[in-house]
Amino acid sequence: MTSSIQNALPPVVPFRLRVVTGSDYYGAFQEAAAYCGLRRVPYLSPRAWQHGSVPPWQQVQPEMIISCAPQKVQCLVARRDEETYLRQAGFEQVRAIGLPIVYTNPSGVKRIPNSILIMPMHCIPGDNRATDNSDYVNEVERATRGFDRRAVCVSGRCMANGLWVSQFQRAGVEVIHGASVNDANALRRMRALFETFEFMTTGTYGSHVPYALYFGARISLWGPSRALTREYLLRDELWSRFPDAVDQLLSQESVEKAEKLLGRFRVEPQRGIADQDFGGWMVGAENRLSSSDLRKAFGWDLVARGRGMFQDVRDQLALRTRWKRLLTRTNSNYVNDRQRQSDSERTHRGNTSKELC
């Protein structure tokens, strides 16, 4: 049976991904278009937009922030420190405008008291290897029994690969469909979830952590989880291009940097920490543009003006066509009427001539 929470979420709306840099992942451009008051995405401009949160300790390879976008392409990132980092690495056009999720609208849902959302780590692209995650599932199930409402959010990719779902269902935990990269409503679905649950717990850091914080949830990084390994990361198509960066990411130095920011969140689920300011900083909320400035950033202001001019011309052509059809129809009717009148007159003259004879 589908849960009331699942029913209240924006529906999954698949769309075709068209940008190799991942800029359109999770419906980013659809959200931007809606924020700008446009009914659809005008077109995909040659710009790269960071699709997920990259914390400071993961600044080990510039291309990982912007998904291998060329250095000459305009790159739109979340935060000022990322803007500086990319400029120093040789990227010529960089601007901090916030992540796509900061352009979503409030869901309007009411937060459920004493509720918790469990978010296990999602798999990397192409990872269809079933993993024994029973230790995490069992531990988090026991640790969350004191909550009045609990559910687990499983990413679309993990669902497709058969990960997590059956294990949590056997444990009696409600399963909710999470984000998919080709879902136009993915970002608004995630916002609605983070605005629904009071707590969120996860075993591994990811974009879901600052997202949940930004939207007011209390989070905990807790539970047994498998540490990221070099072998696992190198199975990712993007990370596999930069093995040295993988080594730096997994270095003790990076681990210590991460703990300086994340250590306070390593608490039990019922003691989750709230920090909207930190979450907002991570996603670049302070850099969010106005709708008019976002249009300019994507070149959509010209499109909008062009579309308006095109619409005016199209309306004029349509009006002219309607008038032409009307005139043609009128002339045709006039000709037909004249023809019928002429035929009638000839018939009348013929009948009259017969009578005179």
Give the Cβ contact number of residue 8 at 10 Å: 14
pLDDT in tens, 58-105: 999 999 899 878 888 899 999 999 999 999 999 989 999 999 999 999
More confident of the two residues 239 and 198: 198
Question: Which pLDDT band, with edges at 50, 70 and 90, does 43 fall under?
Answer: confident
Position 332 pLDDT exceeds 80: no
Residue range 325-353: mean pLDDT, rounded: 48
Instruction: List own/partner pairs for 63-71 with CB under 8 A and 24 or more apart.
Output: 63/238, 63/241, 63/242, 64/238, 64/239, 64/242, 64/245, 66/21, 66/91, 67/21, 67/22, 67/23, 67/238, 68/21, 68/238, 68/241, 69/21
Band (308; pLDDT cuts 50, 70, 90)? very low
Structure tokens at 101: 């999720």
pTM value? Answer: 0.83
Residue 77 three-state SS: strand
Whether pLDDT at 356 is above 50: no
Neighbours of 122 (CB within 10 A): 23
- Calculate mean pLDDT across residues 217-246: 89
- Would you state the pLDDT for residue 306? 59
Which residues face 92 on adjacent strands? none
**What pLDDT sits at residue 251?**
95
pLDDT band at residue 133, thresholds of 50, 70 and 90? confident
Tens digits of residue pLDDT in 171-183: 999 999 999 999 9
pLDDT digits (tens, 9 = 90+) for 6-29: 889 999 999 998 876 789 999 999
Query: In terms of Cα–Cα distance, which of 4, 50, 41, 44 is closest to 23?
Result: 50
**What is the C-alpha to C-alpha distance for residues 115 and 100, in angstroms, rounded to an integer?**
26
